Structure 1
Amino acid sequence: MSIIGLQMRMRQLGEIRIGHTVDTGRTSAKTGKAILRPEKLQQFRLTAASRATLEPIAALYGGTVQPWTPPNGGPQEWEVYTDTDRIPVIIPPRNAVTQYFELYRGSRCERRCDGQIEQKSDKPCMCDPENRACQITTRLNVMLRDVPGLGVWLLTTHGYYAAVELPMVADFLAQTSGYVDAWLTMELKRVTRADGKVAEFMVPKIDVAVSPAQLLAGEGAISTKAIEADRARAVATGEKPAIESPTSSDFPAMIARAESRAEIKVLWERAKAAGVPSAPVEQAARERSQELVKPHLMAAMSAKTLEELSVALTAARAAGFAENLEDGSDVSGAFTGRRTFLSAPSTPVSSEPMQPARPPVTASPQELWQQIVPAWPGDRTSDCEKAFTGRYGVPPHQATALDLAEFLDAIRSGEYSAPAVDEVPLPPAPAHDEPPF
């Protein structure tokens, strides 16, 4: 390998994993050690030698950084089990994927073969093609787009589908001649074996947010021309090439592809740090945030029990919403209002004949609200507003006179009571500064 090639290879910051080992409860008679078995995960797990390397990942994608000792008895490292199966990454333009047939004895690699030549001995492949002793090994190198640090993260997989699909995708992305903005995801595969049993396993995938034509036109690459110029400078000076920060026009497009409010917030903070004009970025952040919050609003208003409401709130908070139920946002109002509605004692079914239909409502919405506020059993008008929003799906100032009149009747009939609301709090969340979206 040339000196230039050595200069252009980025260091490995850590590893991305889609499984872990668990104790089987049995002990090896030969070694006296616990027998472990591999187990698949539904979300990504990342490991690194430095705790500081993983802390920004835990802040972005959830989880807690904790000590980890590799099963082979290597030096202690650190790990974090994230809450996501989708991570924004950057695909390097070269050496993103490598593949070999490999044979290990413990932690030592004895063979590494490309199917024709065994690399360690420089001899022809030693395996029977129909019954290989070596295991296919695919390695993917990516950069974590929003995580500090200039280097790559390695994902190693021994699966057939990853071996077939990942190289083709990486080869295509390499045709863009730039660092490609993409997503690393996990997909559950089910295969029926010859004995009729169904096997399940997770397959890593690479997704991009643009079409193949756009990729080949350079639209998926991040500042391609600047990277090429920086690469030439790095070769001349002996320094490592650096990736240019996104431009002002990049941030709204990146925010439009965000998958959570936490991701939107990271992009918003990056734009602020880069001195990007705030108006277009904040507009894009508000619009994308509104799109992402809709299913959580619907989940809050459609919850039939307090247990369902708590599950919906946990999902909303995982997406970055309703973290502070006193922030006055629509989603927080929907959760607290629905809690008030579900906490109210149910009205027993009466055996008396049905009352005649309500007479037409003649009072205006403003007049009805002036009657509702003093009739509300609690001390805070904000609780009354949240209860109304949770019941009807709209705030009082957008409601019809008929809904307001019905709500007033419900209060007067005893459906709502302040003590019942206080006895069933929703799970608390730590307070923090909120961005303007």
Structure 2
Amino acid sequence: MGSRLRNIQARAAEHGRLRTGYTNGNRPMRSPNWVITSHSEEHVRRAAELWGGEPEQWSPLNSTISQWRVLTKASSIEALITPGDPLNQYNEMWSKGGCQRRCDGETELLTRQPCLCAARFGEDWHQQKKGTVCSTTSRLNVMLPDLSGMGMWRAETHSFYAAQEWGGMVDMVLAGTDGKGFIPVNLRIEPRQRVANGETKKFPVVVVELRGITPRQALAGPVNAATALNPSMAGQQRAAIEAPRPDYLAEAKGALTSDDVRDVWRKASAAGHVDPKGSDDLSKRLMALAAAKDEESKQHEQKDDEPGGPDAEGVYEGEVVETNEQSSGWPAAAQPGSGARR
């Protein structure tokens, strides 16, 4: 195990941003779909292949550094919440000179004063006009498993209502996983509206929701990386743990008759553990056991019935042979005695 610097916090590189808006010239615009921006042209072009849109070069406001962006056609994208606490939230006020205020809801951290917005406008300060109060800013670091690179992507929202939902969701996940392991989620832009003072305001909210796993699984402990990347396997893995596969051969060897062996095969077939056509190895071995049971039974009958001549009326006793697939319990192409004996 290698050693690490103890005074430096390890973190993955940031590949880009997941945005709910874009600039058209100098005019900010809301978007019903995700806008993905990055310094990497490769990442943005791959995102366009996955979620639609046309990659283009772009410079953020008040910046001369060119980046790449794509206005996708997807309102929902798949992501992974990574180990650790992926969320940070502050009430912030920015200007061209940088961050002027950063508040944790109680204390403005740059001046160490009590929350300035609450002191001036009360508990409903967030309903004031933008620019006069801080914006509730939430930043969620996630991994996009279908893009190249092992870095992080930052989803950011300035919605007061999304901040409540993001915090609640992440806190519940962390309570179950203790910040260990990955959690598969969907990041979905959902249109909302609010009526206040006789006015209806429409706005987008980013919803973070579990993807492919249940709350029981998310709260039961860390999810391994394989399950997080392919959540559909979680149910199969759980079923395998809860219901281990029976030892059908042991059951068949302990059976008294070939009919009992056929019952074992029917049980395996109902559980999906054998090929219905009987072409798998387990079916062949079960058919061989059934054939052996039939042979043993015939040998016992011959010993009991010797010399096996006609009865008093000169009639020989006949043997009834089942030929119907349903009555035998075996696939038609795999009847005992049709090449299954060993």
Question: 2:232 maps to which residue?
Answer: 253
Paired residues for 1:110-189 under 5 Å: 110-129=100-119, 130=122, 131=125, 133-174=133-174, 175-176=176-177, 177-189=180-192
Instruction: Return closer, same or farther for 1:108/1:250 CA change in 2, 3 Å cut-off.
Output: closer
8 A Cα contact 2:51 2:73, kept in partner: yes
Tell me what 2:83 maps to.
Answer: 93
Shift of the alpha carbon at 1:40? Answer: 1.6
Report the more deviating stretch, 4-13 or 153-162. 4-13
State which of 33, 40, 52 in structure 2 corresponds to 1:62.
52
- 8 Å Cα contact 1:181/1:222 also seen in 2: no
Label 1:255 to 1:16 Cα distance change in 2 as closer, same or farther (>3 A): farther
Q: Which letter maps to 2:197?
A: A
Deviation of 1:222 (Å): 3.3
8 Å CA contact 1:102, 1:135 repeated in 2: yes
- Mapped to 2, the partners of 1:252 and 1:212 lie a distance apart of 13
Which is bigger in relative contact order (C-alpha 8 A, separation at least 6)? 2
Structure 1 residues 107 and 93, CA, compared in 2 at 3 Å: closer, same or farther? farther
Measured in 2, the distance between the counterparts of 1:137 and 1:252 equals: 30
Q: Which has the higher helix share?
A: 1
Contact 2:79 2:142 in 1 (8 A): yes
Q: 1:366-420: CA deviations, max 9, x gaps? A: xxxxxxxxxxxxxxxxxxxxxxxxxxxxxxxxxxxxxxxxxxxxxxxxxxxxxxx
Residues of 2 paired with 1:252 and 1:21: CA distance? Answer: 36
Contact 2:12 2:151 in 1 (8 A): yes
8 Å contact kept, 1:72–1:107: no
CA contact (8 A) 2:181 2:224 kept: yes
Match of 2:74 among 80, 84, 105: 84
Judged with a 3 Å threshold, the aligned counterparts in structure 2 of structure 1 residues 111 and 3 are, in CA distance, closer, same or farther, namely farther
For each residue in 1:343-374, what CA deviation from the matched residue of structure 2 results, as whole angstroms up to 9, or x when unmatched? xxxxxxxxxxxxxxxxxxxxxxxxxxxxxxxx
Aligned length: 218
Alignment of 1:328-407 (within 5 A): none
Give the structure-2-normalised TM-score.
0.58
Question: Among residues 8, 21, 33, which one is paired with 2:23 in the alignment?
Answer: 21
In structure 2, what is the Cα distance between the partners aligned to 1:62 and 1:97? 28
Amino acid at match of 1:156: E
Unaligned runs of 5+ in 2: 127-132, 236-342
* Letter in structure 2 aligned against 1:62: G
Q: Aligned pair in 2 of structure 1 residues 93, 168: CA closer, same or farther (>3 Å)?
A: farther
Matched residue SS, 1:210: coil
CA distance in 1, matches of 2:193, 2:202: 5
Seen in structure 2, the aligned counterparts of structure 1 residues 3 and 169 have a Cα distance that, compared at 3 Å, is: farther
What SS does structure 2 have at the residue aligned with 1:207?
Answer: strand
SS in 1 for 2:47: helix
- Residue 18 of structure 2 contacts residue 35 of structure 2 at CA under 8 Å; is this kept in 1? yes
Q: Which structure: greater strand fraction? A: 2
How far apart, CA to CA, are the structure 1 residues paired with 2:229 and 2:43? 26
TM-score (norm 1): 0.46
SS at the partner of 2:43?
Answer: helix
Partner of 1:314: none
Q: 1:95-132: CA deviations, max 9, x gaps?
A: 31111111111261111111222223344433344247
Task: Report the CA distance between 1:74 and its aligned residue.
Answer: 3.8
Provide the C-alpha distance between the structure 2 equivalents of 1:251 and 1:6, rounded to a whole number of angstroms: 33
User: Are the structure 2 counterparts of residues 6 and 173 from structure 1 closer, same or farther at C-alpha, using a change threshold of 3 Å?
Assistant: farther
Letter in 2 for 1:198: T
Secondary structure of the structure 2 residue equivalent to 1:83 = coil
Judged with a 3 Å threshold, the aligned counterparts in structure 2 of structure 1 residues 5 and 81 are, in CA distance, closer, same or farther, namely farther
Structure 1 letter corresponding to 2:24: V
User: In angstroms, what is the RMSD of aligned CA positions?
Assistant: 2.7
The question of 1:51 aligning with 2:41 is answered yes
Q: 2: CA distance between counterparts of 1:188 and 1:5?
A: 43
